Amino acid sequence: MQYSVIISIDAPDEGSAFEMRDELAGALEDARDSAVVPGATTVTGELIQGDVEAVLESYQRLHDGLSDMVEGGRLAVSDIPNDYQWLVESLASLANRVGEVSSLAPVPHEATRVASA
């Protein structure tokens, strides 16, 4: 099973943010290699500029608008016969996933640097 961890980085520029992301990925790989987390693998994801909360809020507005169109009859099977069922099922599935994600409370953590010996 795959899990996602979202970490927000406040950095002075994109280069610094990439460096921090790479450091975090390296720390995760070190934990994996030292068997702290046996069997886990590490995937380094993309750096997304901006706040993930804003992206989720935008998605939620899109979802709500499409749902209103479907439920209000402004978007019907006859409009998109080949895609209507997929759209309805996708909206329902994503609404459940967004509900799961938004119910998670963020865990604030102040990063600390450990001086190299």
Q: Are residues 98 and 85 in the same domain?
A: yes
Q: Are residues 57 and 99 in the same domain?
A: yes
Structural domain total, the chain: 2
Q: Are residues 35 and 61 in the same domain?
A: no
Band (9; pLDDT cuts 50, 70, 90): confident
pLDDT tens, 60-93? 888 888 888 888 989 888 999 899 888 888 887 7
Lowest mean pLDDT among 32-41, 91-100, 104-113: 104-113
Tell if the pTM clears 0.85, that is, is over it.
Answer: no
Q: Which of 30, 48, 66 is the last residue before a domain boundary?
A: 48
Distances (CA, A) of 32 to 37, 45, 91: 5, 17, 36
Find the domain containing 14 and state its range.
Answer: 1-48
Specify the long-range contacts of residues 12-19, CB closer than 8 Å, at least 24 apart: 14/47, 14/49, 17/47, 18/47
Q: Are residues 55 and 26 in the same domain?
A: no
